[in-house]
């Protein structure tokens, strides 16, 4: 736009540094996280009981039998990550891979924390942990600057791993 004195003025559009989100999207993220927690718990239980323990805990395989829960956890977490990524893409979450990787790194080995609990408390803890971590990393992923979002996510990786391991 040109004014009377020949000076060109432009409108400045300000963009928020954070991608906006709505209540429905937050509820979807929490639901996806809870569903992934349910899937990981169910897959862990089934894989550990019917596949890895059955294969690794045969007669004469005492050394590898102790590794059955860890193998089951790894496979269950990978299955959960794939399902979570597909679900977050379907829900159209901003940077779904950051959310999934953040949750995966944060909750890696959480089955060691809940293995002493009864199955229903373990399942509840899994659902709550996954729902909260999906929500946390989805909130971080909303930052428009990928570099800043990545740095904050890495700080959260380190901080949450420190809390989980201590």
Q: How far apart are CA 55 and CA 64, in angstroms?
A: 10
pLDDT at 93 over 80: yes
Token readout for 120 is 């229903």
Q: Are 84 and 134 in contact (CB under 8 A)?
A: yes
Token readout for 84 is 């979570």
Q: How far apart are CA 119 and CA 86, in angstroms?
A: 27
**Residue 55: which of 42, 39, 40, 71 has the closest Cα?**
71
Query: pTM for the whole thing?
Result: 0.84
Pick from 43-57, 124-138, 150-164 the range whose average pLDDT is largest.
124-138
Tell me the pLDDT tens digit for each residue of 131-150: 999 999 999 988 888 899 99
Rounded mean pLDDT of 123-135?
94
Rounded mean pLDDT of 104-125?
86
Q: How far apart are CA 4 and CA 20, in angstroms?
A: 38
Task: Name the DSSP letter for residue 95.
Answer: S
């Amino acid at each position: 736009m040109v004014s009377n004195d020949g000076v060109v003025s432009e409108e400045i559009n300000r963009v928020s540094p954070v991608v906006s989100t709505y209540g429905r999207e937050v509820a979807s993220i929490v639901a996806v996280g809870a569903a992934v927690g349910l899937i990981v718990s169910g897959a862990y239980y089934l894989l550990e009981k019917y596949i890895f323990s059955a294969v690794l805990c045969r007669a004469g395989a005492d050394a590898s039998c102790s590794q059955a829960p860890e193998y089951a956890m790894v496979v269950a977490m990978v299955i959960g990550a794939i399902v979570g990524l597909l679900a977050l893409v379907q829900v159209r979450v901003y940077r779904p891979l950051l959310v999934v990787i953040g949750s995966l790194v944060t909750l890696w080995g959480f089955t060691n924390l809940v293995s002493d609990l009864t199955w229903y408390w373990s399942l509840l803890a899994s659902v709550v942990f996954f729902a909260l971590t999906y929500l946390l990393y989805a909130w971080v992923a909303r930052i428009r600057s990928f570099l800043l979002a990545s740095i904050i996510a890495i700080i959260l990786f380190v901080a949450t791993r420190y809390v989980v391991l201590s």
